[in-house]
Structure 1
Amino acid sequence: MDQFKLVLKYKFLLNELVMRDIKIKYRRSVLGLLWTLLNPLLMMIVLTLVFSNIFRFSIDNFPVYLLCGQLIFNFFSEASNMALPSILSNGSLIKKVYVPKYLFPLSKVFSSLVNLLASFVALLLVMIFTQSQITWTILFVPLPLLYIFLFTLGVSLLLSALSVFFRDIMHLYGVLLTAWMYFTPVFYPLDILPAGIRNIVEFNPLTSFINLFREVVMYNQVPTLSLNLVCLAYSLVMLAVGAYVFYKNQDKFILHI
């Protein structure tokens, strides 16, 4: 509760940090925020051309299937990547004034969330273009977005804390993310995988978040209680681990930045 009150107290700074990230990302860009729509659309077109022939018999409406997976994974990838060096890159500010240090990784996750919400508009446009059925179950979209937000925040807190002491993480994490992407069913169906690999992929938390997202957006299903509980468990456990590691080490940051 005290940490929540601190977030409210420093909400102006949090807002400024988020706006700064967005402005820096699109600085000197002619299209600006429009790229949040174009990026997923262009990537979807490329991947659809590459994979649609391979998977056309097992995935109906492959563009929507692909874009649903992309939105969730890209949010996680972008937010955690940006949060990873957030403490180190703000070292000069941390040394000068007191600022709750978790605001820096938190701002990265929020700025990526802005991009995710804009990309969701691109998904709706693709669904309309492909004449996909949009039903009232889309109202459940906040559930998977909340779960992936909490999970990503936990990972971001963990990474931003560890990177202060182990700089090699900043180089290793890119490799890990690439492997993580291939073990996440973004552009392929689970049923093509051998049993052993499929068990690993199903254990991947991002698989559960993407499945829940696809259920309410693409398959027009009310999310099951069991899947919600699994997603909630992944989110809360990761958030607890990340917050604990960050809190236990934050007082030592100033000695290493």
Structure 2
Amino acid sequence: MGCIYCFARPSHAYHDLSPGLDFETKLFAKPNAAKLLRAELMKKGHVVSPIAMGTNTDPYQPVEKDWRITRQVLEVLAETRHPTFITTKSDRILRDIDLLSDLARDNLVAVMISVTSLDPKIARTLEPRAPHPERRIAAIARLAQAGVPVSANMSPIIPAINDHEIESVVARVAAAGARDINYILVRLPHEVAPLFRAWLADHYPDRAGKVMAMIRDIRGGRDNDPNFGSRMKGQGIWADLIRTRFRHARRRAGLGGERLALRTDLFQPPEGAQMRLF
């Protein structure tokens, strides 16, 4: 994919690659990820807690169609009955609905689908090569129908770009069967800020200054707030307004409630070379 706002872009700069074009064309992959996971789960000291996939980059990148790395990891998790959380903006996750349904029957999986905008034009420029918004809504519906706990994430919310869609996005994901929806305010760490400014100048020159002024207000006068406790919530009048609107939209849509807790008591370590006695 090539989301302009992606906070994983600086990881390419760390490897002496461009956080711009290289990030969108040169990907890192671990073909032996499932093998490494299996070895880790075989360790006697392994403490079972949900494994989160998609917290930095999407586990269903376009290359997953051929590499099937995420599929292989899910096969190990299903075999060992290990819980997992998955975050993605791709309907490619439906390819693995058989494994997800199997895990869901034992309350071992929860999925979050990112729906940033319902406007195809905004989505196309903001998230090039990511699936169309309607395909993501359809994926939520398919997962819900298959009994897989699925929620949504409006991430990121960008003032004066997609914040006007808060109510419509919340209503659509609720109608599709999402159990809940959360949001993240736009973050511009390190090399992401100049890339985002250039994107604004290209696609929204009429409001680029306004957007950045609102972002700086949310981030305490800076382009980015790196502090873990405050970077998700933001501060100031714009952050408060977005928070209030989102809370009211969730309530109207009947979303929210108890947080899903996955089971951790069904785990069986991989057999390895020696079969289990019982």
TM (norm. structure 1) is: 0.28
Which structure shows the higher strand fraction?
Answer: 2
TM (norm. structure 2) is: 0.27
Which structure shows the higher helix fraction?
Answer: 1
* Greater RCO (CA < 8 Å, at least 6 residues apart): 1
